[in-house]
C-alpha cells in the first residue's frame, strides 16, 4: 500500500515539493513564569526523518503541540509547508498528520466511524476516503474490529487507530510524539517500515522519542533539546564530534550533551555554543 501512497497527491498538489517543510524561527513558549521552549530555531527539508530528543520536561511535547497548532507560541514563528501555523492555521493543518503520545478517541464510535469522522473533518470526499479507510484498517490489522466500539479496543489497537487517523488525508508532514507507545513488536516493525517508506516518498517526519535506539535506526538528523533550548543538532557522527566522544552510541552522546553542569556555569550564565555551528 505504502509504495504509491503519495505519488498522485504530490503530482496534483499546489504545495512546493522543494525547500524547507518545517521552519521554526526563534520559537518561544512560556507558561506563566516557566519558559518551556526558548528561542528554538530549526529548518527541516522535505523528506527528512528528524528525531527530537531530550530529558523529561525538556520541551519536546510543547514544541510539537505548537507545531500542530494546538498551542499558540509566546513568540517566534512556525511555518509548515510554507504556511504560518498562527496566521494560516487551516492550510497548515491540512498538510499535517499528528500522532500524540496520549491519544483522544471517541469511545462510543466504532473504529470505522472514527476514521470517517476524521476524513470528513478534513473535507475529504467519500469516494476517496472509504477505500482509504478500508486499506488502513487492513494494513494495521484492524479490519476484524473496524465495526466494534473503540471502548473495546486494547491500548495497542487504539494506537494503531490513531496512526490510521493521522494518515487518512495524505499529510506532507507527520508530527509524532512517542509513536511506539503500547505497540507490540509486530506493530513496531510495521510503523518503522511505514515511516521509512513515507520519507522515501518525500514525507517529512518530526519524531520525539525517549527510545534512543529508534532514533538512531531511523532518523537522518537528530536535535537535542534541554531545559527548553536546542543544545545540538546534526547526524549521529556530527553529534559524536560535538560531544567529543569517539566510537560511541547515541545514549552516551545524549547524556554528555544534556549534562547540566556543562550547560550552565557557577554564576548561572548559559555557556552553550551555537547548537547549529
Contact 182, 159 (CB under 8 A): yes
Instruction: Give SS3 for 28.
Output: strand
Query: What is the pTM for the complete model shown?
Result: 0.87
- pLDDT at position 248 over 80: no
Q: How much of the chain, in percent, has pLDDT values that exceed 90?
A: 72
- pLDDT at position 6 over 70: no
Query: Cα–Cα distance between 133 and 261 in angstroms, integer?
Result: 51
> Can you list the positions of beta strands (E) in 191-276?
204-208, 221-226, 229-234
Query: Cα–Cα distance between 157 and 186 in angstroms, integer?
Result: 12
**117-156 residue pLDDT tens:** 999 999 999 999 999 999 999 999 999 999 999 999 999 9
Helix pair 155-167, 111-121: axis angle to 10 deg: 30
Is the four-CA dihedral 257, 258, 260, 261 of positive or negative sign?
negative
Query: Cα–Cα distance between 87 and 124 in angstroms, integer?
Result: 23
Architecture of the domain spanning 46-71+81-263: 3-Layer(aba) Sandwich (3.40)
Please give the angle made by the CA atoms of 112, 95 and 178, to the nearest 5 degrees. 70
Average pLDDT over residues 28-57: 96
Amino acid at each position: 500500500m505504502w509504495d504509491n501512497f503519495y505519488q498522485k497527491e504530490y503530482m496534483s498538489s499546489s504545495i512546493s515539493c522543494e525547500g524547507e517543510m518545517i521552519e521554526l524561527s526563534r520559537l518561544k513558549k512560556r507558561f506563566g513564569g516557566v519558559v518551556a521552549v526558548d528561542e528554538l530555531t530549526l529548518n527541516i527539508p522535505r523528506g527528512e526523518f528528524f528525531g527530537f530528543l531530550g530529558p523529561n520536561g525538556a520541551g519536546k511535547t510543547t514544541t510539537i503541540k505548537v507545531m500542530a497548532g494546538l498551542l499558540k507560541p509566546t513568540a517566534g514563528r512556525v511555518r509548515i509547508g510554507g504556511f504560518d501555523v498562527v496566521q494560516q492555521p487551516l492550510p497548515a493543518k491540512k498538510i499535517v498528520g499528528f500522532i500524540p503520545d496520549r491519544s483522544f478517541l471517541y469511545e462510543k464510535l466504532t473504529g470505522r466511524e472514527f476514521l470517517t469522522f476524521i476524513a470528513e473533518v478534513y473535507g475529504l470526499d467519500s469516494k476517496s476516503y472509504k477505500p482509504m479507510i478500508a486499506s488502513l484498517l487492513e494494513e494495521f490489522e484492524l479490519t476484524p474490529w473496524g465495526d466494534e466500539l473503540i471502548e473495546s479496543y486494547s491500548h495497542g489497537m487504539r494506537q494503531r487507530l490513531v496512526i490510521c487517523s493521522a494518515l487518512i488525508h495524505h499529510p506532507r508532514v507527520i508530527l509524532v510524539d512517542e509513536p511506539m507507545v503500547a505497540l507490540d513488536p509486530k506493530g513496531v516493525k510495521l510503523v518503522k517500515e511505514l515511516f521509512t517508506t513515507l520519507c522515501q516518498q518525500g514525507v517529512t517526519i518530526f519524531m520525539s522519542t525517549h527510545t534512543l535506539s529508534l532514533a538512531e535506526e531511523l532518523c537522518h538528523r537528530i536535535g537535542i533539546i534541554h531545559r527548553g533550548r536546542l543544545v545540538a543538532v546534526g547526524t549521529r557522527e556530527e553529534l559524536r564530534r560535538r560531544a567529543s566522544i569517539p566510537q560511541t552510541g547515541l545514549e552516551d552522546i545524549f547524556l554528555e550533551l544534556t549534562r547540566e553542569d556543562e550547560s550552565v556555569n557557577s554564576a548561572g550564565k548559559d555557556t552553550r555554543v551555537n547548537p547549529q555551528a
